[in-house]
Amino acid sequence: MVIAVLSGKGGTGKTTLATNLASAISEDFDVQLLDADAEEPDVHLFFDPEIEHEEEIELMLPVIDKEKC
């Protein structure tokens, strides 16, 4: 089963709903909770996660020449 909680607007309670739903469902099922919020991923604030793997990532960002726009 896959359950997605999403909205285009911030501050609507997506994280609160997702964490509470995951917590409730985890009593009967194995649960994986993915926080795909690129700007403010804060699901970890609701839990005390065990970090199994950590690595640095790099993103290539384009340089915008406003003179050519």
Taking only the tens place, the pLDDT of each residue in 2-38 is: 999 998 888 899 999 999 999 999 999 999 999 988 8
User: Tokens 């005390």 belong to which residue?
Assistant: 48
Taking only the tens place, the pLDDT of each residue in 30-63 is: 999 999 888 888 999 998 888 889 899 888 999 9
* Residue partners of 44: CB distance under 8 A and separation at least 6: 35
Confidence grade of residue 67 (pLDDT, cut at 50, 70, 90): very high
The separation between CA 56 and the C-alpha centre of its own chain, rounded to angstroms, equals 17
